A and B are shown apart, each in its own frame.
Chain A
């Protein structure tokens, strides 16, 4: 079994890993719906979106590996970054690693993340890193569709039957405490602003709240009150769920190093 790699702690690399890992881990969770969605058309839609997110993750992780090398570190490829890092070296927000839950939870999480990513990609189109700006230009269209798709379902479920409304409410109660982490700032954000790589994620919070709240209102729900709890996935400290996800996701590359298909 190949040994795990350790990634540079350079803030620019960390900033990209937060984006790439958030896309990658959500993609893995969405892929779990393959063959299990309530209708076959939705099965295809969810896996399409998982593949969009994998595409974004590949591009961003590749760029992260290049930046690592530019800053004097090892040059890791996208596959090494995805499959040979240990849990503590993943920097996705905790929200995306939580179990997929029922369809309502999946749609609500997709909505929260898609609104966030759409705002982030919009800003990253102006990144000082031309490569990242180009990735953002392509990804922003995908995120917009993901947002529309999720918003549509959230409204249907919230304004649907008593059962669907109750499930959506339960999903909101469960996931809401993890959404605050998206907007937590630290030195990685400061450095990204200083170099023009990208915005502080906290700068996206007002627009995100407005977008998220407007869909919730249409779904007959309200934005819950703020909580003091903060998850810490972006810092590499994860919930108990990520390890199991990585075990499954990394199994093949760990067992058959360098395997391709």
Chain B
């Protein structure tokens, strides 16, 4: 099964292959905001915009108006490939009983104790 486009995953409308009734709509963009220098950009939502410049500008007004950000990234939602929610069980459940994959069974040398 091929991976689903992210907006279908988010909207829960994956599959069936029916074309969107709103073909003329501006494309969807995912917005990532960095709250302060040194931290990662975090996904905070999405919006419709005609092009990257407009997406950045709208993201600034919609997602950073309460001083949430120092930097904004946008990416077209259809450029993101997501794992298939239907395969969640086979993808992620097998990791449940494999505690030995956590690096907690080693004695760290004193010098590295607070790694």
Contact = CB atoms under 8 A, between A and B. Distances in A.
Interface of A: 39, 41-42, 44-45, 48, 148-149, 152, 156
Contact of B62 (A44, A152, A156): A44
Given A149-B57, A152-B54, A152-B57, A41 B65 contact: no
Interface of A is mostly: helix
22 contacts: A39-B48, A41-B47, A41-B48, A41-B49, A41-B58, A41-B61, A41-B62, A42-B58, A44-B61, A44-B62, A44-B65, A45-B57, A45-B61, A45-B62, A48-B61, A48-B65, A148-B57, A149-B57, A152-B53, A152-B54, A152-B57, A156-B50
Contacts of A45: 57-58, 61-62
The 7 A-B pairs with the shortest beta carbon distances in the complex, nearest first, are A45-B61, A41-B58, A41-B62, A41-B47, A44-B61, A44-B62, A48-B61
B111 to A, nearest CB: 48
B9 to A, nearest CB: 22
A156 B57 CA distance: 14
A156 B53 CA distance: 11
A178 to B, nearest CB: 27
Contacts of B54: 152, 156
Nearest to A145: B60
Contacts of A39: 48
Contacts of B48: 39, 41
Interface string B58-80: 10011001000000000000000
A163 to B, nearest CB: 14
A45 B58 CA distance: 7
B64 to A, nearest CB: 10
Contacts of B57: 45, 148-149, 152
Contacts of B50: 156
A39 B29 CA distance: 15
A161 to B, nearest CB: 12
